[in-house]
Structure 1
Amino acid sequence: MKCLVGVLLLLLANTASAIYCRVDGGPWQNMTDNRYMDVNVFVRASPVNGRIELDGYRIECKYPPGVGGGPNDRFYLWTSDNSLTPGGVLFGHQTGLRIGGNHLDYPVGPNMTVAQMTGDGGIKVLDTYMYVNTTRVPGKYVDIKAGNRLGIMWFRLDNTLQLPSHLVSFWIYAINDFYFQPSTCTINDNAPIDVDFGPVDALNLDASPGATSVKRVVSLRYSCPDFGINTPITITLKGARSSFWSSVLATSNDDLGVGLLRNGSVVPPESLYTSNIYNSAGVDDVIFALVRRSGSLPAAGPFSGSATLIMGLP
């Protein structure tokens, strides 16, 4: 009989330590049986008070009723000895965790409350997100690809039932391509650059950015908020490549593309050119050139395209 009671107590102890978590309203996962969870998120970056919050996900956890303990029992998630392991894509950047209203720079130390769960099955949102500190000088931009691991959050699961504590972890992966610049230096004060080619005669278009007659000159102004910055910089063109020539940007008309010229040379999408900032400012005149697919006569009608210019360091 004593042996039977011992088995029963062991079963209760195993089930009583269970908490369940889910991401973005997905299926619940037992975080005691599987002590890690893959968090596949659509990455977005929200600039807030000198930081860029990577807050494109929602993690919820609960302690289900009926698995042991009672309504007055509590389960806690605490930060561990180092609760953040940044992913390689964020190497070299100043990262941290926002827990509630507290911002904890890397390395994130122990004993900060992340969530408290009761035995009544109430759902708690882990108001915990990674962030990247912004800098006031040029820096490397962050280029995230789908499948990249952004980081791992490690938490200690504890309780009021005198059960052993253990670590659980959330492995955060991107499901989209995304890039952002954690520097507060800007191109044209971060205002959109509208390149309007106006009415175009398709017969005036050439297949080469250098030869086409339809061009627009755009002045790019580089600036940083602190005085006295003198440094070489890179300007990277991010955008979709045209289906007929990879060196020009795609547009909504498959027979039209837009080339970026700087000092007479084409800057293809996903490539860069170098420039300079002197005393925290710089300027370049670049040319956007409208080209057509070789041998085609593009259909009449409006068209559009988009791209992003990102300032960084060589």
Structure 2
Amino acid sequence: MKIEVFMKCLVGFLLLLLANTASAIHCRVNGGAWQNMDYGIMDVYVAVRATPGDGRVMLDGYRIECKYPPGVGGGAQDKYFLWTEQNALSPGGVLFGHQTGLRIAGLHLDSPIPENIHVATMPSDGRIITLDAYMYVNTTRVPGKYINIRAGERLGVLMLKRTNTIQLPWDSVSFWIHANNSFYFQPSTCTINNNAPIDVDFEQVDASSLEASPGATPVRKVIPLRYSCPDFGINTPITITLKGQRSSFNSSVLALSNSDLGVGLLRNGSVVSPESLYTSNIYNSAGGDDVTFALVRRPGSLPVAGPFSGSATLIMGVP
């Protein structure tokens, strides 16, 4: 009978020990709430940005931090470790067809990611450790499909192996990285006007002279667009996509800060609406078009005097 009581106490002690060590790792994103990683999965919603680098575009607009809190098991000298699993990066559908990779502590690793690359060490003093692991997309030297990320889309899954010095078996944790915003970029080193900003200045305008149609309004600016790629001998059809906010009174023109005004883009006399494209060509790595920006007004309005502004982006791609 005494032995039975002793065994029950021993089992209870072991269960208590496992309970104390089970919640050893907590992580958070961009200074948010800490999450117990024993569930194995953490959703990371981030404001996406693309930082150009040497032959790649970094998707590094987030910060993941982890810690091993004191008092959750183990001794003062114990540690937890995070390592890459085999094929540690699984890109989301929006990045399929593009060469992706992970930058870990300054080391760039193209997919598939090798196993057992050290990512982080978390001591038991509760020190906050930043996971220096970020996705990237390699750039190409020829025109390619541009990447159009929509808010909520999954960019990828980072899968890591969690080990420790307290003789618990290793397990897996994963960070599901989602976009918190819509975003687009071109992972090609081919450029429009050498990537320089295009300034369309209409100068002084008589509002009464404006028309509602881009094809009829007399206030216009012709802007030359020049396409180029760094390598010789590239011959390919290309697309030029106009990305920008549509006007509230005419969906075929861009919105401006003055809601009674808009700007239409014409190429060869045809209007290119926001979120649409036209086709062109590159011969021997170069090409070009002269496009027209036309200032229009809301039908029946007389826009108030004063400065106005707006913005849009032109993106080169392939059909």
Q: TM-score range by the shorter chain?
A: over 0.9
Aligned to 1:233: 238
Cα distance, 1:15 vs structure 2? 2.6
The residue correspondences of 1:237-248 to structure 2 (distance < 5 A) are 237-248=242-253
Secondary structure at the aligned position of 1:138 is classed as coil
The residue correspondences of 1:111-150 to structure 2 (distance < 5 A) are 111-150=116-155
**1:106 is matched by which residue type in structure 2?**
S
**1:226 is matched by which residue type in structure 2?**
D
Aligned to 1:29: 35
Aligned to 1:107: 112
The residue correspondences of 1:31-46 to structure 2 (distance < 5 A) are 31-32=37-38, 34-46=39-51
Secondary structure at the aligned position of 1:207 is classed as coil
Cα distance, 1:190 vs structure 2? 0.3
Pick the aligned partner of 1:287 from 278, 284, 292.
Answer: 292
Inter-partner Cα distance in structure 1 for 2:185 and 2:74? 46
Inter-partner Cα distance in structure 1 for 2:243 and 2:281? 20
Cα distance, 1:101 vs structure 2? 1.1
Per-residue Cα deviation, 1:25-56 (whole angstroms, up to 9, x for no partner): 11111101x21001000001101111111000
Say if 2:40 is the partner of 1:16: no
Aligned to 2:229: 224
**1:204 is matched by which residue type in structure 2?**
S
Pick the aligned partner of 2:313 from 305, 308, 312.
Answer: 308
Inter-partner Cα distance in structure 2 for 1:46 and 1:110? 26
Pick the aligned partner of 2:95 from 90, 94, 97.
Answer: 90
Aligned to 1:187: 192
Inter-partner Cα distance in structure 1 for 2:218 and 2:237? 32
Secondary structure at the aligned position of 1:117 is classed as strand
Identity of aligned residues (%): 71
Secondary structure at the aligned position of 1:247 is classed as coil
Secondary structure at the aligned position of 2:75 is classed as coil
Per-residue Cα deviation, 1:149-185 (whole angstroms, up to 9, x for no partner): 1000000110111101111000011111111110000
Normalising by the residue count of structure 1, what TM-score does the alignment of the two structures yield?
Answer: 0.98
**2:134 is matched by which residue type in structure 1?**
Y
Count of residue correspondences: 313
Inter-partner Cα distance in structure 2 for 1:14 and 1:62? 18
Inter-partner Cα distance in structure 2 for 1:107 and 1:87? 14
Inter-partner Cα distance in structure 1 for 2:203 and 2:152? 40
Inter-partner Cα distance in structure 2 for 1:229 and 1:239? 29
Pick the aligned partner of 2:158 from 153, 156, 160.
Answer: 153
Moved over 4 A (4+): none
Inter-partner Cα distance in structure 2 for 1:8 and 1:278? 76
Cα distance, 1:195 vs structure 2? 0.3
Inter-partner Cα distance in structure 2 for 1:174 and 1:269? 22
Inter-partner Cα distance in structure 1 for 2:205 and 2:124? 69
Normalising by the residue count of structure 2, what TM-score does the alignment of the two structures yield?
Answer: 0.97
Aligned to 1:3: 8
Inter-partner Cα distance in structure 2 for 1:224 and 1:23? 38
Aligned to 1:207: 212
Structure 1 unaligned regions, length at least 5 = none
**2:92 is matched by which residue type in structure 1?**
G
Cα distance, 1:74 vs structure 2? 1.3
